[in-house]
Structures are given as structure tokens and as C-alpha cells.
Amino acid sequence: MTTHVFVTGTDTEVGKTRISVGLIKVLQQKGLRVAAMKPVASGCEWQDGQLQNEDALALSQQADVKLPYSQINPYAFEPAIAPHLAAEQIGQSISLDVIETNFAAMKLQADAIVVEGAGGWLVPLNDQQTIADLAKALQIPVVLVVAIKLGCINHALLTVQAIAASGLKLEGWVANDFLQDPQSTAIIQSLTKRIAAPCMGIVPKLAADEDASFYLKL
């Protein structure tokens, strides 16, 4: 059974965090001790003397392996812009070695780890590397979150193609129908026909306190 997963999306603001929290709960329901990681995050705010990210905190709150915030989110940036640009603004460089070291330490404490990426699959992290390189460094299967809307078929299929080119396994994809597109049923059917990996769930629009795990399978 797959335990560690890397959650990516067709774009930013597609619901990766909501789905990641749901996946943590699904793994917990299987009796696993689960840790969470958001290696790189922009749009952070100062809390308790350090920059912290709302998404990383949501993941940490659901996880039952409690870890220092700096291990869950090693790279936290205040501007809500692409991570490589945010890092450049403060003269910092994002190192995959740092993220790999934190991930390796997590593996010693948890049965499963849910890692949430930033933005889409090819978001740059530095001058040479992208989110895809981060996923390849961790060598874990990928879950793709697709926000169901006009244009998502192209974005989803291009991302699926890029994941395959990276050599990583696409564990499955999630149809996040929170935008309630009037063509959502037809869009999801089109994606199901064209993506070989299974659809792991169709998640409707949820209230702020609702749980996505009910709609997910892993």
C-alpha cells in the first residue's frame, strides 16, 4: 500500500491543501501514524516569532506526528509570489538537500507522509530546479489535484504527461469540483477517459469545516 505521497496541482488555488488534509485523514483511518510536510510556502505571516503558512498549519493540525514547524515548512516566505522570486528578494536559495534531510528524519517517525507542493508541477524553486525536481528527489508517488473548470483538461493532461516524463508514478488524481462548473460532469468524464491513473475522488464544494476525506480513497 502506498504511504508517502506528493500532492501537486494543475495550478495554484486548486485546493491542494484541502485534499492533502483529507488524504492525511484517509491514511489515519487505515491505522497509520501520519506526518505532513509543506516544504516551500509563500504568503506566510509572522506568528510566534517566525514566518508561518496557513496551509502548512492546516496540514500540521491534522497530522498525528507532531513536528517542529521549521521541519514541516523549511522554506517560508512572506510575499505571496512564486517561491523562487520570494527567495531571491531576501537573498536566499532553496536547497533540495535541506528538504530531503527533513523528509528523511520524518520517515523515521511516521508510517506515512503527505507532502504538499507549491503551485503547479513546474513552479521554479531556484535557477535550475522546480517542484518536479523536488518530487523526484523525494522519490514518492504523486497525487494530482485538478480544479474542475474551463481549461482544466489541457492543464491536467499536460501535467500528467510531465509527471510521466519525470519517471514518477502518478498514484491517482482528484477532481476538485469546488467551483461548481456547469460542465463538471462532462469534464470529469473526459479526464477519466484520458488519464490512465485512477480518479481517487470527486470532491464537491465543501463548507469551511467540512472534511474532504469522505470523498477520497487511497
Q: Are 78 and 86 in contact (CB under 8 A)?
A: yes
CB distance 144 to 163 below 8 Å = yes
What proportion of the chain, given as a percentage, has pLDDT over 90?
96
- pTM, two decimal places: 0.96
Active site residue 38: yes
Residue 17 among known ligand-binding residues = yes
Please indicate if the annotation marks 205 as binding a ligand. yes
**Annotated binding residue 97:** no
Residue pair 173/212 in contact (Cβ under 8 Å)? The answer is no
Sign of CA dihedral 21, 25, 27, 33: positive
List pLDDT tens digits, range 204-218: 999 988 999 999 998
Give the pLDDT of residue 218.
85
Give the CATH architecture of domain 5-215.
3-Layer(aba) Sandwich (3.40)
Catalytic hit among 16, 25, 38, 149 = 38
Render pLDDT for 35-47 as a digit per residue (tens, 0 to 9): 999 999 999 999 9
Question: Is 8 annotated to bind ligand?
Answer: no
Is the pLDDT at 2 greater than 70? The verdict is: no
| Residue pLDDT, tens place only, 59-106 | 999 999 999 999 999 999 999 999 999 999 999 999 999 999 999 999
